[in-house]
Amino acid sequence: MAELTAFSFQSGTSLLHKLDVRFKLLFLILISLVSLGGGFTGLGALTGLVTGLSIHSRLPLKSAFKEFRFFLIFLVLILVARMLATPGTAIIEIKSFAITRSGLMSGVLICWRLVIIAFVGFLFIYTTPSSEIKAAVDWFLKPAAFIPGKRIATMMGLIARFIPVILNQARETTEAQRARCVENRKNPLYRIVRLGVPLIRRTFEQADRLIVAMEARCYSENRTDPDLSATRTDWLALLVIIIICGWIVSI
């Protein structure tokens, strides 16, 4: 039995699972845009909303945070850079470096926004099959005749399908290396190279096998997409999200 990454679709009966994918895509864009301009109160409200939806959708939070560990390194770097680079009243001074209050506030704010955006994306992937993502992107791009909508939609669907595969490969390769005591090597660069090279090679091999399997089953861009239909619940949810986003923008 395989252990699976949480970063993939899981069928369910939650509200988010039932919503039309086009509305979910809109919510993703709206919440991301609003969080980029939100302050502490607004981000607090969005955090409450995202946490509530995560619990309701039964998103495995422990596994989600585990998948986020590499992203956390990125956030720490942003926080440190903001703390050191923003002018203002110094809280701590070490030699010529000073951590400022305004730097700390702005760093926390930026990281908080990114975490919210990442979690909304996580929720979207967790509650939406990639075939529906493809159908929705295709639907949104249809009016723009000059954009190859079907191709873009197919690529997005495949990316959503492939992320868990890459994460699984990364985990398996890491475990194989830990079994051979890679942890004794303290040089992070050495470890990154040792992980990265086989991971990239295995990912491409896996991609090759997947392509052959898809070709054997007549894969093409022109395929039957799932039926998309908006219900009253979708419109109601859109109204609620617009009200919340409007309130956050206004404060």
Partner 1 sequence: MDIIEIENLKHRFADGTLGLDGINLKIRAGAFVVVAGPNGSGKTTLIRHLNGLMLPTDGCVKVAGISVQKDLMRARRLVGMMFQDADSQIVGETVYQDVAFGPENLRLDNDQIRERVSLALDVVGLKDFAQQRPHLLSGGEKRRLAIAGILAMEPKVIAFDEPFASLDYPGVKQVLRQILTLHQAGHTILVITHDLEKVLAHADRLIIMQKGKIVRDGVPAEIVDDIETFGVRAPCASHLGMEVRSWLN
Site for partner 1 contains 230 (CB under 8 A): no
Site for partner 1 contains 229 (CB under 8 A): no
Site for partner 1 contains 220 (CB under 8 A): yes
What CA–CA distances, in Å, run from 177 to 158, 166, 181, 203? 28, 16, 7, 16
Contact between residue 63 and residue 5 where contact means Cβ atoms under 8 Å apart: yes
How near is the Cβ of 43 to partner 1 at its closest, in Å? 31
Contacts of 9 (CB under 8 A, 6+ apart): 125, 126, 127, 128, 129, 130, 160
Residue of 89, 96, 222, 250 interacting with partner 1 (CB under 8 A) = 222
Site for partner 1 contains 130 (CB under 8 A): yes
How near is the Cβ of 135 to partner 1 at its closest, in Å? 11
What would the two tokens of residue 3 be?
A: 């252990």
Site for partner 1 contains 145 (CB under 8 A): no
Instruction: Select 101 or 201, whichever has its Cβ closest to partner 1.
Output: 201
Site for partner 1 contains 218 (CB under 8 A): yes
How near is the Cβ of 2 to partner 1 at its closest, in Å? 5
Site for partner 1 contains 94 (CB under 8 A): no
User: Position 161: which residue type?
Assistant: R
Residue of 10, 32, 47, 106 interacting with partner 1 (CB under 8 A) = 10
What CA–CA distances, in Å, run from 132 to 16, 122, 163, 227, 246? 13, 15, 16, 9, 28
How near is the Cβ of 32 to partner 1 at its closest, in Å? 23
Residue of 76, 78, 213, 239 interacting with partner 1 (CB under 8 A) = 213
Distance from C-alpha of 157 to C-alpha of 182, rounded to nearest angstrom: 35
User: Which residues are bridge partners to 94 per DSSP?
Assistant: 97
Residue given tokens 């986003």 in the structure block = 245
Site for partner 1 in 168-207 (CB under 8 A): 168, 206
The 3-state DSSP class for residue 151 equals helix
Distance from C-alpha of 9 to C-alpha of 241, rounded to nearest angstrom: 23
Site for partner 1 contains 106 (CB under 8 A): no
Residues forming contacts to partner 1 in the complex (CB under 8 A) are 1-2, 4, 8-11, 129-131, 161, 168, 206, 209-210, 212-220, 222-227
